[in-house]
Amino acid sequence: MSPVVAVLRLVAAAVAGYLLGSIPSGVVVGRIFGNVDPRASGSGKTGATNVLRTLGPGPAALVVIMDVGKGVVAVLLARYLIMPLGPDVTPNLRGWAEAFAGFGALLGHNFSIFIRFTGGRGVATGGGACLAMNPIAVVCAIVAMVIPIVTTRYVSLGSMAAASAAGLSDVVLTATGHDIVPHAVFMVCGASFIIISHHDNIRRLLAGTERKLGGNAAQQK
C-alpha cells in the first residue's frame, strides 16, 4: 500500500469515528423520554451521568449502551472495512486505523457537529473503543472506576480513575506483548483527553463542591 493510500485510509477512519461519535445519544434519548434536553440542566453535558440526574436510571442506561456502542463500532469499522488485514496491511497499520477511529469518536462525542460542538466527556465512548481494542484494559478500568464511586459517590473521580487505569494497563499489556503500540497510544492519549475534559469537575473536587451520585440536576451547575 502506498503511503498516500495509507494516509487517506487513516483519515477516513478518523472521519468515520468522528461522525459516529457525534451522534448525540443523550439528546436523542432526552427527546424520546419527555422531550428533555440534558444540556439545559446539571452539568450541561450529554453523557449518562447528567441524563441520570435529569431523566433517571432507565434513560441513563440506554445512553451508556449507545455511547459505548459508538466507540465499539468506530473501531470495528476501521478494523474490518477501512483497514482490513491483507498483503499490504500489517497489524500495526490496522491498529493505527483503529486508534484514529477511536480518537475521532472521542472528539465527536465531546464536540458533536450535530449539536453545535457540544457533548459529553467521552468516558463511555472511549471505553467502547478500548473494549474493541483490548477487553483486559477495560476490566482494569471498571475495577478502578467502581472503587472510588462506591467509596466517595463521585462519578467524575471514578471516571478519571478508569481512564487512567485503561491507559496504564494497556502500556503494561503492550510491554508484555499482549497488545500493540497503536492501542496503547490511543488509550494513553484518550485517557489524557478524558481527564482534561473533567477540568471543571477537578476544580469542584478540590473545592469540595463536586456533585455526588444520587444528587439531582438542580443541585449545582
Residue 214 lies in a domain: no
Q: Any idea what DSSP says for residue 87?
A: T
- Residue 41 confidence (pLDDT): 86
- Residue 216 confidence (pLDDT): 52
Rounded (10°) angle between helices 91-110 and 3-21: 30
Residue 126 lies in a domain: yes
- Burial (Cβ within 10 Å: 0-12, 13-18, ≥19) of residue 193: middle
Residue 104 lies in a domain: yes
- Residue 43 confidence (pLDDT): 86
Range of the domain at 195: 3-207
- Residue 215 confidence (pLDDT): 57
Residue 215 lies in a domain: no
Domain count, the chain: 1
How far apart are alpha carbons 191 and 163 in whole angstroms? Answer: 5
- Residue 218 confidence (pLDDT): 46
- Residue 213 confidence (pLDDT): 86
Residue 30 lies in a domain: yes
Low-confidence ranges of the chain (pLDDT < 50): 217-221
CA-atom Rg of the chain in angstroms: 17
Terminal-to-terminal C-alpha distance of the chain: 51
How far apart are alpha carbons 67 and 120 in whole angstroms? Answer: 10
Residue 114 lies in a domain: yes
Residue 221 lies in a domain: no
How far apart are alpha carbons 43 and 200 in whole angstroms? Answer: 9
Cα 74 to Cα 53, 66, 98, 161, 204: the distances in Å are 28, 12, 8, 24, 33
